Amino acid sequence: MIDLAGALRISTDELLGVKAPKVERIHDDGEARRTWKRFQMVATLPERDQKAVIRLINSLATVSAGKRVARAG
């Protein structure tokens, strides 16, 4: 979750919907804006599907982090 928030350049509170996103952050980067819109679409899914998406994101982030560590080591 933290990695996703970092990639989107937003706080985890903004990502989870606890705080409204700062508009200027969303408009800074076209790719971040597109990703944010996709994540907002995920928020409209049933809870079970949302959890599946989060599990997938976490798995991908873990694999990606492992690859970074392997390259650095």
Segment 27-59, tens digit of pLDDT:
567 887 788 888 888 888 999 999 999 899 889
What's the pTM?
Answer: 0.52
The number of distinct structural domains making up the chain is: 1
Domain hosting residue 14, numbered range: 2-72
SS3 (DSSP) at 49 = helix
Distance CA 8, CA 34 (A): 10
Segment 7-30, tens digit of pLDDT:
777 788 887 778 876 665 555 678
